[in-house]
Amino acid sequence: MAEPVKHARKVPGNKALRVRNMREEIGLIKNFPKSQRLIVIAKVSAVVLLAIALEGIATQNWPQFVVFAILTLIVGIYPMKVKVQICPRCGSELLRGAAICKVCGVPTL
Ligand SMILES: [Zn+2]
């Protein structure tokens, strides 16, 4: 007579899954070497600065546009300048131009 209600069930775990992925990503960023984390921060802030610069165009606030466009360029170029070398053996951060890892003594390319 009465059919069992099947379609009322919700798909569980979707939100929790997303939160967990976010946490994993944050954990990943935390595990980055320091200068690599700085690069991530620089990239994110470059996007924010660009958004503010574009807002300056939209509101015809030219000083705001000029200032934040310049800041975007500076911050956006920074990650390219800082090239992080990582030791192939122990994974620790190497100083720029360092020929030998200071942690494990392995020569680098
Ligand atoms: Zn090493």
59-88 pLDDT, tens digit each: 999 999 999 999 999 888 776 666 667 777
Query: In Å, how far from its chain's centre is CA 24?
Result: 13
pTM listed for this prediction: 0.48
Q: What is the chain's alpha carbon radius of gyration, rounded to the nearest angstrom?
A: 23
Ligand 1 centroid vs 87 CA: distance in angstroms? 5
Ligand 1 centroid vs 52 CA: distance in angstroms? 41
4-38 pLDDT, tens digit each: 555 555 555 566 666 677 777 767 666 666 767 77
Backbone angles phi, psi at 82, to 5 degrees: -90, 100
State the pLDDT at residue 82: 63
Ligand 1 centroid vs 11 CA: distance in angstroms? 47
Ligand 1 centroid vs 58 CA: distance in angstroms? 50
Specify whether the CB–CB gap between 33 and 84 falls below 8 A: yes
Distance CA 82, CA 42 (A): 11
CA nearest 40: which of 87, 94, 97, 78? 78
Ligand 1 centroid vs 19 CA: distance in angstroms? 34
